[in-house]
């Protein structure tokens, strides 16, 4: 055999190996973003016990290529958590590339080679009652007879705000506009809470998700404590750094509920709103301060009812403002409200408006 022939042999082997390697031109993972609740058992797919809820859809092009699939699901307990915990990891036996739903795993020709589920996470989820936090899905296509990655990884996530969705931001409204130095934040109460905190940050653009914007460095409001009150007025006195007209703001409220094992932190929806021009002493400013003052009177049912009616628009602050029978300006009223907010113990009682 000549030297030239000897050189051609390994070359032909390399060419044959290259041609024998499966090729996937398109590999994608889609999670259904309309999911608001999931039976966590559907996140752990097991042979012979297929999921009953469609959570994700996988697309492979072309079809008919011998492949295997490996993947993992990681759990991030809260939006602020720094680490992810391994919940599920798995690998399938060989099958031919195809488009499929998670409900097809273990119930069609896509069978499991192995799967591992972390029991302690299942126990934690059972204690919560339903999934919470963030679930990260990572999938890769590997060869039928090797662990070489052919396509991927593809990564997607499902975000659950909290186990019961009981903590919701009422104001500001999503997509609304707020004065630069007068942003009223109000949220639904949570039973057993020992402290509420408010976090806010500036969103850099539409390409940045609300979660990314909220958790990037140097927030404009870094977990400001509202105590047990369900509203707070944001202005330059409480902000960590100033926001400006034109800024898009993301905001979230958290609630700490004491309990065995260290308690639990619940998170609200993330609200996105815009900052308008310079603040002036307007009726809206007075109204926001008045609502915060009413909410600070925790045991006063009339105060709570008045605050609710003002926010809904059922009750409006109009007409001339009188103090001891004498008219006062908006600026004077604002100063009075600030003093009352600083020491609401000076309020003896509240008289309902005429007709209520």
Q: What is the DSSP string of 199-218?
A: EEEEE--TTS-HHHHHHSSS
Type and span of the H or E element at 274? strand 271-275
pLDDT digits (tens, 9 = 90+) for 165-175: 468 888 888 88
Tokens of 346: 């000076």
In DSSP notation, 47-88 reads TTB--SS--EEEEEESSS-EEEEEEEEEEESSTT-S--EEEE
Beta 248-257 vs 271-275: how paired, if at all?
antiparallel
Tell me: the pLDDT tens digits for 226-265?
A: 999 888 989 888 999 999 888 999 999 998 887 655 667 8
Confidence at residue 13, expressed as pLDDT on a 0 to 100 scale:
41
pLDDT tens figures, 109-166: 899 898 888 888 877 776 665 567 888 999 999 999 888 999 989 999 887 755 554 6
Residue listed under structure tokens 């097991």: 46
24 phi/psi in degrees, rounded to 5: -115, 115
What is the spatial distance between Cα 107 and Cα 105, in angstroms, rounded to a whole number?
Answer: 6
Which residues, including other chains, have CB under 8 Å from residue 269's CB and lie 6 or more apart?
A: 161, 168, 169, 252
Mean per-residue pLDDT over the chain, rounded: 77
- For the cut 90, the answer to whether the pLDDT of residue 322 exceeds it is no
Tokens 């309309």 correspond to 34
- The pLDDT of 17-42, averaged and rounded, is 66
Q: Number of helices (H) and strands (E), helices first, in the chain?
A: 6, 20
- Mean pLDDT value of segment 319-346: 67
Pairing of strands 177-178, 271-275: parallel
First to last CA, the chain: 108
The CB density around residue 216, as the number of other CB atoms within 10 Å, is 14
Average pLDDT over residues 313-334: 64
Is a pLDDT exceeding 90 seen at residue 197?
yes
Share of the chain above pLDDT 90, in %: 26
d(CA 181, CA 244): 9
Specify the pLDDT at position 43: 59
Tell me, what's the pLDDT at 12? 39
Q: Does pLDDT of 5 surpass 70?
A: no
């Amino acid at each position: 055999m000549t030297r030239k022939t000897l050189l051609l042999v390994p070359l032909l082997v390399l060419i044959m190996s290259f041609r024998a390697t499966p090729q996937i031109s398109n590999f994608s993972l889609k999670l259904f973003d309309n999911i608001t609740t999931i039976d966590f058992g559907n996140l752990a797919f097991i042979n012979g016990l297929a999921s009953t809820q469609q959570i994700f859809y996988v697309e492979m092009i072309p079809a008919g290529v011998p492949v295997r699939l490996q993947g993992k699901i990681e759990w991030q307990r809260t939006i602020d958590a720094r680490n992810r915990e391994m919940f599920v990891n798995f690998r399938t036996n060989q099958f031919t590339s195809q488009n499929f739903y998670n409900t097809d795993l273990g119930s069609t020709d896509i069978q499991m080679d192995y799967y591992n589920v972390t029991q302690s996470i299942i126990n934690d989820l059972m204690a919560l009652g339903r999934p919470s936090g963030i679930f990260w899905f990572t999938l890769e296509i590997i060869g039928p007879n090797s662990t070489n990655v052919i396509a991927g990884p593809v990564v997607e996530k499902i975000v659950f705000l909290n186990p019961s969705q009981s903590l919701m931001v009422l104001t500001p409204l999503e997509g609304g506009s707020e004065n630069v130095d007068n942003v009223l934040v109000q949220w639904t109460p949570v039973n057993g809470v020992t402290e509420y905190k408010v976090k806010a940050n500036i969103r850099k653009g539409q390409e940045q998700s609300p979660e990314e914007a909220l958790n990037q460095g140097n927030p404009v409001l870094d977990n400001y404590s509202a105590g047990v009150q369900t509203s707070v007025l944001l202005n330059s006195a409480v902000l960590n750094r100033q926001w400006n007209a034109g800024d898009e703001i993301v905001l979230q409220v958290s609630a700490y509920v004491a309990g065995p094992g260290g308690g639990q932190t619940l998170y609200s929806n993330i609200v996105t709103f815009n900052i308008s021009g310079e603040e002036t002493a307007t009726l809206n400013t007075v109204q926001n301060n008045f609502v915060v003052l009413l909410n600070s009177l925790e045991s006063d049912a009339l105060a709570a009812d008045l605050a609710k009616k003002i926010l809904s628009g059922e009750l409006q602050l109009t007409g001339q403002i009188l103090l001891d029978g004498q008219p006062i300006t908006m600026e004077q009223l604002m100063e009075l409200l600030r003093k009352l907010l600083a020491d609401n113990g000076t309020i003896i009682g509240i008289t309902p408006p005429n007709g209520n």
